Structures are given as C-alpha cells and as structure tokens.
Structure 1
C-alpha cells in the first residue's frame, strides 16, 4: 500500500497475505529515515496505542509526539518487520531494530511483536510488546537462564 492509499479513508484493509506483507514492508520503510507524518497518516484519527509499558494513549497528536520523541532518541534507526499473520482485520508482525542512543551514543538493539487492528486501511489499534537494551548487555530476564 502506498502513502496515498493509507491517507485515503476509503482504503480497504489488506485481504491477502501478500497485501498484508506489502503493508508491513511499507510501514517498515517509513522508519528509515523517520517519516513521522506518513507514519501518523497510517493510523485512524481515533487510534488507540498500547505500546510496551507506556500508559495507553491515542489520537494523531499523541502519536506524532511519540514518534517525534523516538526519532530524536534513536539515531540511525535500522528496522526489519516480518509479517507473522493476517486474520480478518488483524495483522501480526515481529520486528528487529538497531540504533544508537542519541544521548549516550550507546549501540542499542531491540525486538518485539505487534498486533494491528485495521479499519479502513489504517491502523486503529496498535499493541506492541518488545525488549530493548544495549548491544551485548544482559537483559532483565537473563538471570532466569543462569
């Protein structure tokens, strides 16, 4: 799907795995470099965001602030998203990312899963769980393995 299709309120949700895969790859491309306005346009105006341990938030203004803050913190962001499933109006994908922390210069890495509930070709509900930390660092669950 193109940005124009995402901005079109009459757009339809992906119906096939290939359409969903194309959407996931398109969204991936908007993060490198950060295209905050195009990212926000891919969400419904009344979107609901449940991302990691952040309090739930919603709407284009809050989403724009969120993406802008991330883009300022995550220098040289590199991202790979992989479609994992499509069922009705719901898309599931996983992602892996790498970046440099803008404040410390520390190399960072992360991975996670996202569930997108679609409406009219846009993301209406975005739920994401992830782990992130310094490259080579020990995660918070590392002690469970030793």
Structure 2
C-alpha cells in the first residue's frame, strides 16, 4: 500500500502536514511532518504534496550504510531508528525528495503510512490524498511522477 496524490486537487492548505506531525510527534509543526507541500511556481501552477512512494526497490534502503531502512512484512518501507546513524544518505538517494530531517530529530522523517491508516488521507479536505495498493500505482506511475518533479 502507498499514498497516491492528485496534484491538481491539492489546495496547499497544509492539513496533511499538521496531522502527520501531530500523530508522530504530538506537535502541529509542519517541519516535523513526513509529508510536505511544495507551493506553486511559475512553471508549475499547482501545489505538490511530497511523500514517500514506498518504492519497489527503494534507493533510500540501497544507500543506507547501516541497513536501517527496510521493508516491513506488510510492504511498508520503514526506518529502524536504533540502527540509523543520521548520515542523510537516504535523503540524498530518494528520487522524490520524500525523506526529511529536522534539527531536533536525529533520524529521518519518512512516511510510515500510520500503520495502515494514514491520518493525512482521513483529514485531507479535498481528497487529494488516497491510500492505494502499490501494485495499482506501479513503478511506471512513480517514475512518471519523478520525471515531472525533476523538471522543476
């Protein structure tokens, strides 16, 4: 399972960022969220929610020198915080820019799908976020998104 994003439906309200940070850290601080909203630009006139795509072959896991990033039994790409050394190799390797760091948190902030019930999906007022089977998203869709994001 993974989050699917309808870029055109996102208004940039930030609700997803706030509920994510609150769920995981107990604060309404969007910089502590595993989903980030990139505002529109002159080249891209829509908001872009950036969130882990739960890749089939995650580059973040391949580049992690301590194997702290792994796929759980239910297919979610997770960070084993006890093994993470905070080197940021995972963030540099992610083609979607979907792994974040915060100065108060020594390990990466990455979507864990809230254990299978993502808060951001439940609270998104426009339905821009949905929770879907990874097989229906497919690597092709993820690559298409990565190419579109690379243009800006």
Relative to the length of structure 2, the TM-score reads 0.29
Structure with the larger RCO, 1 or 2 (CA within 8 Å, 6+ apart): 2
Task: Specify which structure has the higher proportion of helix.
Answer: 2
Relative to the length of structure 1, the TM-score reads 0.29
Bigger Rg, structure 1 or 2: 1
Task: Specify which structure has the higher proportion of strand.
Answer: 1
